[in-house]
Structure 1
Amino acid sequence: MIGDSVASPAVWAITVAVTLTVLLVDLLVIGRKSHEPSMREVSTHLAFYVGLAVLFGIGLWVFAEPHELSPAPGPEFFAGWLTEYSLSVDNLFIFIIIMAKFGVPRAYQQTALMIGIVLALIMRAIFIVVGAAAIENFSWVFYLFGLFLIYTAVKLAKEGGEDEDEYEENKLVKYAETHLPATSQWHGTRIWARVEGKRLVTPMFFVILTLGTTDLLFALDSIPAIYGLTQDPYLVFTANIFALMGLRQLYFLIGGLLQRLIYLSYGLAFLLGFIGVKLMLHAMHVNELSFINGGHHIEWAPEIPIWLSLSVIVGTLAITAVASLWASSRMAAAEQDAVTGPRRDWDND
């Protein structure tokens, strides 16, 4: 699939090398010492990542040549990046709940998030390769992606008004908690420690395991969604990288502001539904299933252009944010808590 990408193998290699370098710097230099980052620190890093993503997208828009898999590389990247970023913001609700559930000290949360993001990048890279191979060999996979996103959109819309604190551990985490020898004491950011001669896993191990498995579930939504905006695996990969790179800083920066985004789930449900419909229309346009239209392409099925997709994404996010902030400003604290879950004291967590 690399040969079919808008990027050459050399560009792929450079991109992967730069990504690994940034991750290593983040892990070994910035995150070497466990600490609670200051607002200035996270703001600077977040501005760097967002600015880098914008420059990268502009570069694609200006210099990248249109390709069969990517007729408009620049707009497709921005549409994919904004979609992945908005989904990541919604995922922060779960991250906050996970940190609170395990009582992770603020000084250790940065390390836990960084490791979780690395795991997310690895798993999404696998999903991207699998998704690209499936699309290349089976055109009917667009039907599956579309139906899955529409189902997810309906489910998200129904759950939009439910308490976000209603989070349950998955079976793998529950099994690990009941079968692995563990200590309830924190030993810095170490995932295991030797206590009275016994090797025990620490609470940090369960936090990382929970974040990793949660990231896997998130990828089930995000990868089909972005493949509905671009079929170029390079754009899918880079959009995910830029969305995840700033996620840790975003977690510390916006904190309590998440409590005010009371309509975020509904906005995301609309976006996933829109992309799901887009995928279904594309599946009809390239249809090869014998029991649908005799195995022929459905020519009357319209293709939603990327400019319209980008406009819908930007418009939906803007309307969702403005409507949420306006409505939440007119609510009492208890009313906001009823929608998004109890607020947290970010200075004392």
Structure 2
Amino acid sequence: MQTVGTPFLWGSFTMVVLTMLIIDLFLRGREHGTQTISFKQSTIWSLIWVSVTLLFSGVFWWYTESKVGYSIATTQTLAFLTGYILEKALAVDNVFVWLMFFNYFSIPASLQRRVLIYGVLGAIVLRTIMILAGNWLVMRFSWILYLFGMFLLLTGLKMIFNKEKHKKKMGYKIVVSWLSKHLNITNTLEGENFFILKNGVIFATPLFLVLVIIELSDVIFALDSIPAIFAVTTNSFIVLTSNLFAILGLRAMYFLLANVAERFFMLKYGLAIVLVFIGIKMLIAKIYHIPVAISLSIVSTILSSTIFINAWVNQKNNKK
């Protein structure tokens, strides 16, 4: 597979990820237990994850520049940042789905942290498998990028013109119904437990159902985000690292956005426009190559403009 990843870069990435996982998920988890994570704590940890990502991108540029020169290092680093921003932005919609099902199953905020710990760890494994499989396909069948482009274009247009929330809810309810028929499930939560032993029989709890739905939702949303980053680069190291760095900050981002979800009602349109742009970029790649720096600028402009317009509309509505 095409990659700029050397043993030093792969080793550095692995060390950073493992260190941050131990601190964020385990040491910090023991400290807070089942306490609700505050907005302030979520903000701080979101900034920490972004800072770690930017620091890694700096090390990546410095190391790559020393090996292959300024031009390639800059292009590859911009590809990494573009992939990171794309995944981070597209993950927002995923976060809102999590919030919807936490509310649907009446999962208290104190237990959401435990579900998200395993949800993020599962997402890391599933995304890694999907990215490596996708990269294998792209390397052997380059025409598949056109299928990705068409898929993203149609997905973006559907997000703009169709209301698919009801269909998505129905899809998840089918999964819940199937699990309910094939598993013994308790009617109530049993603390932090995903399973309990009752009269010699193993029962799953609603907390386990939510965990399954979170993993399923990540796979579904990955079908959008992974093809999108292949429009930026097919470099396996950049695709994987930018994707995983974005995922690792999802738990903090969830608690950050949980209290302001309703204020971001226009964000889906910004994400839809981004998908349309990425889809077109992939479809015209043979005719005209859009440089990574321009792609990064366009994606950043679309997302920042959406947030600005959203804030303006909210402010206008509050005055009424």
TM-score (norm 2): 0.90
Question: CA offsets, 1:234-253, max 9 Å, x none?
Answer: 11111112211221111112
Question: CA offsets, 1:296-315, max 9 Å, x none?
Answer: xxxxx110111110110110
Residue number among 291, 303, 310 corresponding to 1:317 in the alignment: 303
Map residues 247-286 of structure 1 onto 2, 5 A cutoff. Answer: 247-282=250-285, 285=286
Look up the equivalent residue of 2:4 and give its one-letter code.
Answer: V
Distance in 1 between the 2:174 and 2:73 partners?
39
Structure 2 CA distance for partners of 1:95 and 1:69, relative to 1, 3 Å = farther
Distance in 1 between the 2:212 and 2:6 partners?
35
Residue number among 132, 137, 144 corresponding to 1:134 in the alignment: 137
Distance in 1 between the 2:119 and 2:162 partners?
25
Question: CA offsets, 1:189-247, max 9 Å, x none?
Answer: 21100223322111111010110111110111110001111111111111112211221
TM-score (norm 1): 0.83
- In structure 1, what is the equivalent of residue 47 of structure 2? 47
Residue number among 305, 314, 318 corresponding to 1:328 in the alignment: 314
Pair 1:234 & 2:250 matched: no
Task: Say whether the 8 Å CA contact 1:61–1:72 is kept in structure 2.
Answer: no
- In structure 2, what is the equivalent of residue 101 of structure 1? 104
What is the CA distance between 1:62 and its match in structure 2? 4.0
Task: Say whether the 8 Å CA contact 1:97–1:167 is kept in structure 2.
Answer: no
Q: Name the SS of the counterpart of 1:330 in structure 2.
A: helix
Residue number among 152, 156, 169 corresponding to 1:167 in the alignment: 169
Distance in 2 between the 1:210 and 1:156 partners?
21
Question: CA offsets, 1:5-45, max 9 Å, x none?
Answer: 11113422442343234324433322232221123322222
Look up the equivalent residue of 2:169 and give its one-letter code.
Answer: Y
- In structure 1, what is the equivalent of residue 7 of structure 2? 9
- In structure 1, what is the equivalent of residue 58 of structure 2? 58
Q: Name the SS of the counterpart of 1:199 in structure 2.
A: strand
Once the two structures are aligned, what percentage of the paired residues are identical? 32
Bigger relative CO (Cα 8 Å, ≥ 6 apart): 2
Map residues 180-219 of structure 1 onto 2, 5 A cutoff. Answer: 180-219=183-222
Across the aligned residues of Structure 1 and Structure 2, the Cα RMSD in angstroms comes to 2.5
Question: CA offsets, 1:153-187, max 9 Å, x none?
Answer: 11111236x76897231533321122211112222
Task: Say whether the 8 Å CA contact 2:64–2:73 is kept in structure 1.
Answer: no
Distance in 1 between the 2:167 and 2:267 partners?
16
Larger CA deviation: 206-215 vs 256-265:
256-265
- In structure 2, what is the equivalent of residue 19 of structure 1? 17
Task: Say whether the 8 Å CA contact 1:70–1:231 is kept in structure 2.
Answer: no
Task: Say whether the 8 Å CA contact 2:42–2:252 is kept in structure 1.
Answer: yes
For this pair of structures, how many residues does the alignment match?
314
Residue number among 223, 228, 240 corresponding to 1:225 in the alignment: 228
Task: Say whether the 8 Å CA contact 1:149–1:275 is kept in structure 2.
Answer: yes
Distance in 1 between the 2:95 and 2:72 partners?
32
Structure 2 CA distance for partners of 1:230 and 1:213, relative to 1, 3 Å = same
Gaps of 5+ in 1: 286-300, 336-349
Task: Say whether the 8 Å CA contact 1:80–1:226 is kept in structure 2.
Answer: yes
Question: CA offsets, 1:257-304, max 9 Å, x none?
Answer: 22112221111111111111111122xx2xxxxxxxxxxxxxxx1101
